[in-house]
């Protein structure tokens, strides 16, 4: 950890990580990983960067081996950050307070950040970020009760750290204004990171059922969507290392989530303007161009969207799973244009290569083939195969897989007939 023994060393490492982030955003994924790898385990932010790349791969593949590697890397990044955290003084009252928090909910006092060095503050933030991601992946991959309780407590403790950091920033701003940040060794990287994570927490909680939100409110956490979006916007405006992540989360809300399910407070014109500004600086970005294609698809412009997806696919093949994500949306655009044969070919590739949801891929293969030729003998075989491909994630059957499984059974019961199944899928995914 010698590279981060001083505040200056930390800031120098952040500059290098920003370069790796720029490579990543410009579709140079392997170059970004190669830049970060030499200091993996030696630098807090370099280690978190590698852990994030491995987490991205795990989320895209859901492969057990990738999950294990990502969980291990996130745990390692938490340990590296933990070494740099300020040691808390242990007392009888502190132990009793900690025990009480298990019952009443974590409510960490923000004053514990007072007097910390710049490195120690960043260590708190990185530790919380990595711990939350590690617990989330563990809960998805391990469904037993012991794991659920253990990771749930760890996640709550990490949320408490994020909340305390946010309250700390808020307190300094109220008492000393923006000038107070410099006096307390607070930089834009820490500020944007804390505000971003506080925004993500509030946004995630806002999607939960009302009964579950009440439980979190008892523990001191609130899920207000307006506040969440405002925090993410503020984080993006602050600049710093996490600026681009805040923008990507906002794009995901306004463009992707809003296209799948009607959401309040979506602002597509604003998202379009900001996305165009990002593309002006990163014209070869796989991620931003994929978002542009999705926006065109949302605007019912399938022909233009298909062409954009084709350009996106040509940009990179380092991450096959990102290619698969574009292939799925490209299939929707082709279905919207009644290009059944091309759509069938795309979903065939997904069924053979992707592990995301082979149930849905097999069903979309069948319905596109059904639209092309209802008497094709392969359709019945595919429909019979669909129910056996349904799987569970975190102990729960994926709703979409359950839906297509029922539709395939209905197809067989009705004498190998369904009423416009391809258009039903298009409607379901807002592809029309």
Q: pLDDT tens, 356-390?
A: 889 999 999 999 999 999 999 999 999 999 999 99
Give the pLDDT band of residue 111 (cuts 50, 70, 90).
confident
Instruction: Quote the CA–CA distance of 334 and 337 in Å, as a whole number.
Output: 5
Give the pLDDT band of residue 145 (cuts 50, 70, 90).
low
pLDDT at 223 over 50: yes
Give the pLDDT band of residue 216 (cuts 50, 70, 90).
low
Q: pLDDT tens, 276-335?
A: 999 998 888 888 999 999 999 888 899 999 999 998 888 766 677 778 888 999 999 999
C-beta neighbour count of 102 within 10 angstroms: 11
More confident residue, 209 or 5: 209
Residues paired with residue 397 on neighbouring β-strands, in sequence order: 392
Instruction: Quote the CA–CA distance of 2 and 43 in Å, as a whole number.
Output: 8
Give the pairing of strands 396-397 and 392-393: antiparallel
Assign 62 to helix, strand or coil.
coil
Handedness of CA 61, 155, 164, 219 (dihedral sign): positive
Q: Mean pLDDT in the chain? A: 85
Assign 392 to helix, strand or coil.
strand
């Amino acid at each position: 950890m010698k590279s981060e023994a001083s505040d200056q060393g930390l800031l120098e490492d952040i500059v290098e990580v920003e370069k790796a982030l720029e490579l990543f955003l410009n579709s140079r994924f392997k170059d970004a990983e190669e830049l970060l790898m030499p200091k993996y385990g030696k630098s807090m932010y370099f280690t978190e960067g590698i852990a994030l790349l491995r987490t991205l791969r795990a989320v895209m593949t859901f492969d057990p081996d990738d999950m294990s590697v990502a969980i291990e890397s996130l745990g390692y990044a938490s340990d590296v950050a933990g070494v740099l955290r300020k040691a808390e003084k242990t007392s009888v009252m502190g132990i009793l307070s900690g025990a009480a928090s298990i019952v009443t909910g974590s409510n960490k006092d923000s004053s514990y950040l007072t007097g910390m060095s710049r490195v120690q503050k960043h260590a708190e933030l990185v530790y919380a970020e990595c711990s939350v991601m590690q617990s989330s992946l563990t809960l998805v991959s391990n469904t037993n009760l012991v794991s659920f309780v253990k990771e749930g407590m760890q996640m709550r403790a990490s949320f408490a750290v994020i909340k305390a950091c946010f309250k700390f920033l808020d307190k300094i701003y109220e008492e000393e204004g923006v000038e107070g940040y410099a006096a307390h060794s607070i930089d834009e990287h820490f500020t944007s990171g804390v505000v971003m994570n506080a925004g993500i927490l509030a946004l995630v909680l806002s999607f939960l059922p009302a009964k579950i939100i009440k439980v979190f409110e008892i523990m001191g956490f609130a899920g207000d969507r307006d506040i969440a979006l405002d925090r993410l916007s503020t984080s993006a405006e602050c600049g710093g290392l996490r600026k681009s992540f805040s923008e990507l989360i906002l794009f995901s809300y306004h463009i992707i989530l809003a296209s799948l399910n009607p959401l309040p407070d979506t602002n597509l014109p604003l998202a379009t303007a900001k996305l165009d500004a990002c593309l002006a600086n990163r014209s070869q970005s796989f991620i931003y161009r994929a978002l542009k294609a999705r926006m065109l698809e949302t605007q019912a412009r399938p022909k233009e969207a298909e062409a954009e997806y084709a350009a996106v696919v040509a940009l990179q093949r380092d991450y096959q799973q990102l290619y698969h994500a574009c292939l799925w949306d490209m299939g929707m655009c082709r279905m919207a244009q009644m290009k059944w044969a091309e759509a069938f070919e795309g979903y065939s590739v997904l069924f053979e290569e992707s592990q995301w949801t082979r149930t849905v891929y097999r069903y979309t293969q069948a319905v596109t083939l059904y639209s092309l030729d209802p008497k094709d003998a392969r359709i019945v075989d595919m429909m019979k195969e669909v129910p056996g491909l349904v799987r569970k994630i975190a102990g729960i059957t994926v709703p979409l897989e359950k839906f297509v499984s029922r539709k395939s059974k209905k197809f067989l019961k009705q004498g190998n007939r369904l009423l416009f199944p391809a258009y039903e899928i298009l409607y379901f995914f807002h592809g029309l």
